[in-house]
Amino acid sequence: MRGVIIAAALLVGGCSGTWIVAVGPDTYNLTKQIAPVVGGDAEAATAALAEVNAFCEQKGLTFAPTSMGPVPSGLNPPSTYSVTFQCLSANGLSTSDPRRYMELVRGRSTRDEAVAKLGPPQGTRDIRGSGTVLQWFDNNPAHPFRVAILFGPDGRMIKVTEVLDQ
């Protein structure tokens, strides 16, 4: 009977939990829980980092942490490790970042391509007869950024009309 109780405790204690949640544009959080009997804090950290790397690689991108570390918990719970991260392109930018405007090609890139690279525009202004200006902002106080791009009536990029990059 004692052996059955120990086996059951090991099975329950050996369970682990993981969930990845989108917490912002191209930003995710993964929380990994692992019981102390199967490795505790060290195993939770190793497993979490392996999982976020695989998550980004599956998208063809590179893992870039924004914060990570153990999550304090009460008496004898599973060990918990949390990673907040982004999956970045080869140039170090997130998949929808206004700073990617330089990847667009005048006369060839379309509005849809711009939205895919830069994310949804925060502003739109119709220019009668000339097309539409789309605007993107990043109001991070440490590094504000703004770009405005003019697209013709055919939806193709005409030119970048404004860039603020501090």
**Chain center to CA of 52:** 10
Residue with tokens 């106080």: 141
> In CATH, what is the architecture of 98-165?
2-Layer Sandwich (3.30)
pLDDT band for position 91 (50/70/90)?
Answer: low
Whether the CB-CB separation of 79 and 70 falls below 8 Å is answered with yes
Sign of CA dihedral 122, 21, 73, 51: negative
Question: What's the chain's average pLDDT?
Answer: 80
Q: In the predicted model, what is the mean pLDDT of residues 72-93?
A: 79
Please answer whether residues 111 and 104 qualify as being in contact, where contact means their C-beta atoms are separated by less than 8 angstroms.
no
Domain coordinates of the chain in residue numbers? 2-88, 98-165
CB–CB of 40/34 below 8 Å?
Answer: yes
**pLDDT in the model for residue 42:** 86
Task: Compute the radius of gyration of the chain from its Cα atoms.
Answer: 23
Strand positions, DSSP E, 7-130: 16-24, 27-34, 62-70, 79-88, 123-127
If one compares 14 and 130, the residue with the highest pLDDT of the two is 130
Q: Residue 21 corresponds to which tokens in the numbers above?
A: 């949640």
